[in-house]
Structure 1
Amino acid sequence: MRWPALPPLNTLLPFEATVRHASMTAAARELHVTHGAVSRQIQNLERTLGTRLFERGARTLRPTPQARQLAAVVRDALDQIDGAAGQISRRAPAGPLTLSCEPTLLMRWLIPRLPDLTASVPDVTVHLSAGGGPVHFERDGIDLAIRRDDFPLPEEADRTRLFGERIGPVCRPDLASGLATADGIRDAVLLHTATRPRAWDDWRGITGLTARPASEQTLEHFYLTLQAAAAGVGVAIAPYAVARDDLERGQLVAPFGFVPDGTAYHLLGRRPSGQDARVGRLVAWLRDRTAGLADEARSAG
């Protein structure tokens, strides 16, 4: 045999799924088999390798370091097989695409544009999922993810740059006249965002302007700080993309405009867009709708 150490191939799918979920029940559900079938395959694999792959507790199942090492290799091999099969397959991929997007961008930019997406790309169905930070395509069952590059993006992911981030203070129109001074913002309530706590510091560092607040308040997400700003609670630092529609409606103004902060948003995919026509059409739509954001942000304020 060419591969004398190769374990039974039918054990590898249930093994990889069990390691990923740390649960035979979840692995069985994913593979549409019974818990007993998964358990038998894991036992078979352990007998073949002559080692235990899981530490079993009363209600826990913890993969050993050796199991994690093997599962990572199996996962890479399955990804390569999947990619090769996709390249030679004559069948067009079908079904919906699952797109993960950072929550505020999802709520305030992408969801309002879903009718346009449906009209422009009627043959592509997209399921949306709110998520941020590191991307795990297989574990989370997602095909695509929109992420800001403020953390290392996965090297193996297909990447399309969408737009550069621009930030600036925003507030209700009737508060704007009392904010702008020669050197910055005075005597305002500064609204902070827990998910990006250094946003005000970043803006001050980029512009050289100051902000001397009367008080400060922190909310969990940008969409909450924007809602508070629109209600007249105070002044929020906002990315242009998520404040754009409120600016256009006149609910918010940007007295100091928007400046680039050096980061950008990217569309990440588990495989190149050329392998799936649905992904290619979605990428084209996203690039078209985000193409003008930088010019709009430069002229806002």
Structure 2
Amino acid sequence: MRWSFLPPLNSLLPFEATVRHASMTAAAQELHVTHGAVSRQVQNLERTLGVSLFERGARSLRPTQEARQLAAVVRDALDQIDAAARQASRRAPTGPFTLSCEPTLLMRWLIPRLPDLAALVPDVTVHLSAGGGPVFFERDNIDLAIRRDDFPFPAGAHRTRLFAERIGPVCRPDLAPRLMDPGKADVTLLHSGTRTQAWDDWKRITGITGITAEPAAQQTLEHFYLTVQAASAGVGVAIAPYAVVRDDLERGQLVAPFGFVPDGTGYHLLSRRPPEQDERLRRLTSWLRSRTDELDTGHDRAHPPQDPAQK
């Protein structure tokens, strides 16, 4: 036999899933088999290799270093086999993509554009999931994720740049004159619990320091979406990304007296494999790129100019 050290192939899927979840129960749920079936396959693999692959505690299961190394190689091999099978198959991939997107961007930018996706790419269905922070494709059962690059992306994930993040103060039109006049800047500053440094970042980038407020005239809301909603209601002024307020600016519900400036971050589409390996994913990615072009251009158009007196 050519592969003299090749272990039982039917043990590799249960083993890889067990290492990834650090749980035979979770591995069994993912593979739709019993806990006992996973346990037997893992034990069979250990007997074949002559080594224990897990440190077993009363309520814990910890993969050894050897197990983690082997699982990583198994995972890479399975990815390559999957990609090759897709290329060889005559069947087009079917089923929806599960796309995770940061909640505020999902609600205020992506969802309003889904009818356009359905019209232009009718054979691609997307199931949406609100989520932020680190991406775990297997654990969260997602195919794609839209994330800002303010934290490390998963190793091996393919990334497609979508747009640069641009931020600026936004408020209801009737509050703009008070914001622009140093003698009348008595508006409430709105802060988000998820981006506590947003105002400081904007002031640092622009050098504009004239917008201040006493502690009593500042309000912190738990979620970023709530600060934008409060600004739309006339409660005060919020720092917002252009992407999430673009539609409100177009409708005239909000104005951005100082325009928007890049904050050094950007949004990316993360996928398990390159779009070139899946025609449906390629067309979905192309649609996203075409729609996010609007977020990289025109972000200073039709907004009141910056008042130099505020610097």
User: TM-score surpassing 0.5?
Assistant: yes
Q: How much does 1:204 deviate?
A: 0.7
The partner residue of 1:285 within 284, 287, 290 is 287
Where does residue 267 of structure 1 map in the other structure? 269
Letter paired with 1:120? L
CA distance in structure 2 between the aligned counterparts of 1:34 and 1:85, rounded to whole angstroms: 27
Letter paired with 2:44? N
| 1:60 aligned onto 2:60 | yes
| 1:258 aligned onto 2:257 | no
CA distance in structure 2 between the aligned counterparts of 1:154 and 1:207, rounded to whole angstroms: 32
- Would the alpha carbon gap of residues 205 and 41 (structure 1) be closer, same or farther in structure 2, given more than 3 Å must change? same
Letter paired with 1:198? Q
Deviations 1:206-253 (A, max 9, x none): 111013123332223321111121222221100011011222233222
CA distance in structure 2 between the aligned counterparts of 1:113 and 1:202, rounded to whole angstroms: 30
Secondary structure of the 1:256 match is coil
Q: How much does 1:84 deviate?
A: 2.1
CA distance in structure 2 between the aligned counterparts of 1:300 and 1:17, rounded to whole angstroms: 53
Q: How much does 1:300 deviate?
A: 4.3
Q: How much does 1:8 deviate?
A: 1.5
Matches within 5 A, 1:1-301: 1-154=1-154, 156-181=156-181, 186-210=185-209, 211-215=211-215, 216-301=218-303
CA distance in structure 2 between the aligned counterparts of 1:84 and 1:44, rounded to whole angstroms: 28
Which piece of structure 1 moves more, 36-45 or 149-158? 149-158
- Contact persistence 2:175–2:187 (CA under 8 A): no
CA distance in structure 2 between the aligned counterparts of 1:182 and 1:2, rounded to whole angstroms: 80
Q: How big is the alpha-carbon RMSD for the aligned residues of Structure 1 and Structure 2?
A: 2.1
CA distance in structure 1 between the aligned counterparts of 2:176 and 2:24, rounded to whole angstroms: 58
Letter paired with 1:187? D
Letter paired with 2:251? R
Q: How much does 1:203 deviate?
A: 0.8
Which piece of structure 1 moves more, 132-141 or 255-264? 132-141
Secondary structure of the 2:267 match is strand
CA distance in structure 1 between the aligned counterparts of 2:5 and 2:231, rounded to whole angstroms: 63
Letter paired with 2:247? D
CA distance in structure 2 between the aligned counterparts of 1:52 and 1:186, rounded to whole angstroms: 68
Following TM superposition, where does structure 1 have runs of at least 4 consecutive aligned residues deviating by more than 6 angstroms?
none
CA distance in structure 2 between the aligned counterparts of 1:54 and 1:218, rounded to whole angstroms: 46
Q: Which runs of 5 or more residues in structure 2 are unaligned?
A: 304-311
Q: How many residues align?
A: 300
CA distance in structure 2 between the aligned counterparts of 1:237 and 1:264, rounded to whole angstroms: 16
- Contact persistence 1:167–1:238 (CA under 8 A): yes
Which piece of structure 1 moves more, 61-70 or 252-261? 61-70
Q: Which runs of 5 or more residues in structure 1 are unaligned?
A: none
- Give the percent of matched residue pairs that are identical in Structure 1 and Structure 2: 77
- Contact persistence 2:189–2:213 (CA under 8 A): yes
